[in-house]
Amino acid sequence: MSRLAPFSSRLVAGPTRRRFARAFVGAFVLLAVLSAPALSRPKEKSDHEAQIQRLINNVRYGQDADALTLLDGEQEARVLLGAAWEKGSAAERTEFVTLFHHIFAGIAFPKMRDSFQHLTSLTYSPPETVAGRLEVASVIHIQAGPKEQELKVRYWLHKGADGKLRVVDVTIQGDKSFLTNIRDDQIQPILAEGGWPKLLELMRVRAKELAAPRNAPLAPKK
């Protein structure tokens, strides 16, 4: 079987899905705890904390369309596509980002919402600049059944031309980053066999299987 054929299902099954879900569930668990009132921190939030809190609140309350605006789609695409990014037309680049976020929101956001109830504790380091990009390291604990799981997480934020910070990538210690896994396991093999046309074709098929990202109606305040 061609490596192209499984693309639409590999984002929802097998080892890639586990890495995909583990990386971003871990990341958003981290973000959720950062927004918890029990943590002691100054009243004035730093830029990265403010963006993180907005992001996690949007995901938590089903505002998926708004949450996607807080992820840096272009930077994600540059990592996933590598040299192919520069070879794509403006229309292809735009469609790739839209489809990738559509698929990501449909698969990962529901899992992230489910993960919030399992948080126990968090410690995190101040943000630091690594190779010109903002990174934050943390240790989070999740109660998974009778055992508590510890995850050492590092995530990357990027400041866009509009001056706003957005999340780009997440790495859990002992594994490659979320984007690296998706790039190596799926995106690059497809590009190697079918280029941009085949990649977008398969992504369109997968996106049609998932509901479009939307903002769920919010319950009225009591």
pLDDT in the model for residue 13: 38
pLDDT at position 66 is 92
| Residue range 84-142, pLDDT digits in tens | 999 999 999 999 999 999 999 998 888 877 766 676 776 767 888 888 788 878 777 77
Q: What percent of the chain has a predicted confidence (pLDDT) above 90?
A: 35
Residue 203 — pLDDT band, cuts 50, 70, 90? very high
Q: How far is C-alpha 214 from the geometric centre of its chain's CA atoms?
A: 17
pLDDT of residue 21: 44
Is pLDDT of 74 > 70? yes
Q: Are 151 and 175 in contact (CB under 8 A)?
A: no
In this prediction, residues 182-207 reach a mean pLDDT of: 95
Please name the residue that has the structure tokens 């998706």.
182
For domain 7-38+45-208, the CATH architecture is Roll (3.10)
Residue 172 has pLDDT above 70, yes or no: yes
Cβ contacts of residue 215 below 8 Å, gap of 6+? Answer: 62, 63, 64, 65, 66
Mean pLDDT of the chain: 77
Residues 6+ apart with CB under 8 A from 212: 102
pTM of the model: 0.75
Report the distance separating Cα 184 and Cα 79, nearest Å. Answer: 10
Is the separation of the CB atoms in 15 and 173 below 8 Å?
Answer: no
CA distance 215 to 133: 30
Q: Can you give the pLDDT at residue 144?
A: 73
Question: For the segment 10-42, what is each residue's pLDDT rounded down to a tens digit?
Answer: 543 344 444 444 544 444 544 444 444 333 344
Q: pLDDT at position 165, please? A: 84
